[in-house]
Structure 1
Amino acid sequence: MSSFALYRFPHENYCTLLSQKMRQPIELLSYSDLSGKEGFVIAPFNASKDEPILLLESEKTKKILLSDFDYTFKNSNSDSENYFDAVYEGAERLKYTVDYENFSSQIASGKFSKIVLARRKVVKSKLEIAPEELFKRACKLYPRMFIALVHTERSGTWLTASPEILLEGHERNWRTIALAGTMKLEGCQLNFDASNEMCDSDMIKWSDKNIQEQGYVAKYIKECLDKFSNNVVEEGPFTVRAGNLVHLRSNFDFTLQTSDNIGELINSLHPTPAVCGLPKDTARRFILKNESVPRHYYSGFMGPLNTQYGTHLYVSLRCMNIEGRTYKLHAGGGLVKNSEEAMEWKETEDKIETMGKCLVTKKI
């Protein structure tokens, strides 16, 4: 199978397919090396020889209306019954409990002010579903999010539905966001930010834990940007919707005199405290050494870089790693001093449900 990236920006009714058949993607080991490069980036949480940053250079690019997609279950009738079994559930729950105790003890000792603990859920299905069908379902379910389906020999196949911009812009005008804090919408709250109904925003009450967590991310991003720009405008935080979840978000608009060193800016931002922790380098090393389940390309970033349409990089959240009839759903949550294990587990379950809905939704 050739390398490809199939992606759709928020609220668009078409997607873009970039394919590369004649050669392999460029492999990079440093985010700083992205300066001056052009193409579609697939970056891991931590770049290494085993899991490098991958850059797809366009050999063929085309726009496709989402209404033109027609994919369904492979080797089956579209009306065939399908079922899904979660595997290793008990073991995954135990791993999370052990990891939580380890990670939270580091918070209690003062080593970290925040650290993100990730996990996965493994699901197997009776029938194999074409990845393109899962992509179309994600686009239908989550119009506000960046949806991407990517495949390379090195990375495997990944589907992501991300609400989080890492970096986007063109020439001198750029933006990023701080996105942290998570709450599941229930009852009347499900009408929040709906196109035809409104819910009183006062009904969404944020806990001190979520406010603190988002504050850490916003402060970090502002400090990073101040090193590259003397014109940073911050707006927020405010509540935004992503599927049936809401998050706290702050916007940062800024200018750059030149985008020649964009890789250095990416290296400074990634991984943000939204997916890593503070202090950043110490937290990243601790995660790599102690997290039970490797993240691979989950909590990295992907998107077009320095194309004629600009740069649009999104953090790889709400991820699904597709291996035939096996689907590995990744999610994480930020731990701070007043976190509670049961609530953190539930938050990861709510986030995993985002990708899980793509599996159980009927053909659309």
Structure 2
Amino acid sequence: MTKALVMKTPEMTGEGSGAVAPDAALSSFVLVGADETVVANGCRPIPAVAGASLARRVSEALEDAVAVVGALPYERLQPAHLLRPTEWSRLPQRSTARAFGPPALLRSCPVPHWQVTAEPSLAAYRASVAEALRQMERRPELRKVVLSRALRVSGDRPIDPRALLCRLAEDPAATAFCVPLPSADGTGRLLLGATPELLVSRRGDQVISHPLAGSARRSSDPGRDRDAAERLAASTKDGREHREVVTAILDLLAPYCRELGTPEGTQLVSTASMWHLGTRIVGRLRDPASSSLELAALLHPTPAVCGTPRDAAAELIAEIEGHDRGFYAGAVGWCDTAGDGDWYVALRCAEISGGEARLHAGAGIVPGSDPVAEGDETAAKFAAMLRALGIDEAIAFEGAAA
């Protein structure tokens, strides 16, 4: 029988099970992965200190805590949102029951009436892709730029975060997550999603990254689905886009590793809604003192969500994208006192507050990209979250004038 690891800090009272209590849903950090479920309750923000490095903040926070959990924003210069839990639970299996409680506790609510607004419109997004391609022609050092767009979804009743996360966790190929976020007015704000992409995992001296780049929408028709996968595998454009990501991660990790490689090569990876090109990177650290969070901060943002070269791509994104990504395309995860932990790229996600959700999706732009196809790719990547919210895609995009 598999047992969960449940740890508590001295400031806790009561016995608690490590599962998310119904009244604690807005303060719990949750990761439901392929072979491990992590739940952190009673999360308290670790204050950002001006001039303090991330490594120093983590070290000080772990002096009297069992772990640090949280999120890195997309913008590298913005402070990490780190939390110190009072209760910490790790179960070495995928367990929605531990993450969400018994199914009977999930409320059955009437379907909300939704209003969807595109930010920007699909036409404007295609125009931004065309502008990025023009810039790349003039600046050959820019090899890849990732552009995103957003959908603002408003309902006539509050969104149930536990029910939403439970639906997102139905895809076994994705890691479902919930991170409580700071809010200026004190109302509950959450980052919820189901990401397919592992930024970095560390156990002892072993480090693993599994970047994804190059995508195709799946089809319910088996023949069309197989054709989509085969076209993706043979695509020169998608292969070039994927290699940019893998090369960048290998280059960043190389100084930290005594062994590093891609033993399985590039393979097709599938979620419920998308095909991706994926390459599993495996290494052995020279210095096991490098924590999972330090490695995540080193790698983030990868060319899968930013571009190459990283600084030049980030500048162009800031110029032409036109909206704040927040924690989308950042990273979510945990780091324990040994430095072990898992950090995932914050994809297929939304920021939730009351009855409103802000969804994001992006596509990698390289020379040869087609603005129409890239726009279609973002629409496909919205599918998982729209489906979990119970929103018909066609109605959503029609209503958003997308």
TM-score where L is the length of structure 1:
0.85
Q: 2:267: which partner in 1?
A: 238
The one-letter code of the counterpart of 1:157 is: L
Please say if 1:55 is aligned against 2:82. yes
Partner of 1:146: 175
> Aligned pair 1:184/2:217, yes or no?
yes
The 10-residue stretch of structure 1 (270-279 or 221-230) with the greater mean CA deviation from structure 2: 221-230
Deviation at 1:157, TM superposition (A): 1.1
Residue 306 (structure 1) shift: 2.9
Aligned-pair distance for 1:290? 3.1
The answer on whether the counterparts of 1:146 and 1:161 sit within 8 Å (CA) in structure 2 is yes
The percentage of aligned residue pairs carrying the same residue is 24
Matched, 1:271 2:301: yes
Cα separation, 2, equivalents of 1:293 and 1:250: 30
2:48 aligns to what?
27
Unpaired runs of 5+ residues, structure 1, are 193-198
Counterpart position of 1:313: 343
Out of 83, 90, 93, the position equivalent to 2:113 is: 83
Q: Which structure 2 residues correspond to residues 1-364 of structure 1 after superposition, within 5 A?
A: 3-10=27-34, 15-20=37-42, 23-27=44-48, 31=54, 33=56, 36=59, 38-48=67-77, 51-62=78-89, 64=98, 68-70=102-104, 78=108, 80-88=110-118, 91-109=120-138, 110-140=140-170, 142-154=171-183, 156-186=189-219, 187-188=221-222, 202=230, 205-234=233-262, 235-262=264-291, 264-306=294-336, 310-360=340-390
Give the Cα separation in 2 of the matches to 1:81 and 1:168: 38
Instruction: Describe the SS at the equivalent of 1:273.
Output: coil
Number of residue pairs the alignment of both structures matches: 345
Structure 1 residues 310 and 159: alpha-carbon distance in aligned structure 2, compared to 1, 3 A threshold = same
Looking at structure 1, the residues matched to 363 and 231 of structure 2 have their Cα atoms a distance apart, in angstroms, of 23
Q: Distance in 1 between matches of 2:55 and 2:373?
A: 37
Shift of 1:280: 0.8
Ranges in structure 2 where 5+ consecutive residues have no aligned partner: 1-23, 91-97, 393-402
Is the contact made by 1:301 and 1:314 (CA closer than 8 Å) also made in structure 2?
yes
Task: Report the alpha carbon displacement of residue 224 of structure 1 after superposing the two structures with TM.
Answer: 1.3
Aligned-residue RMSD, C-alpha: 2.9
Matches of 2:55 and 2:312, distance apart in 1: 19
**Higher-RCO chain (CA-CA 8 Å, sequence separation at least 6):** 1
Instruction: Please state whether the residue corresponding to 2:257 is helix, strand or coil.
Output: coil
Letter in 1 for 2:266: P
CA 1:30–1:122 in structure 2 vs 1: closer, same or farther (change >3 Å)? farther
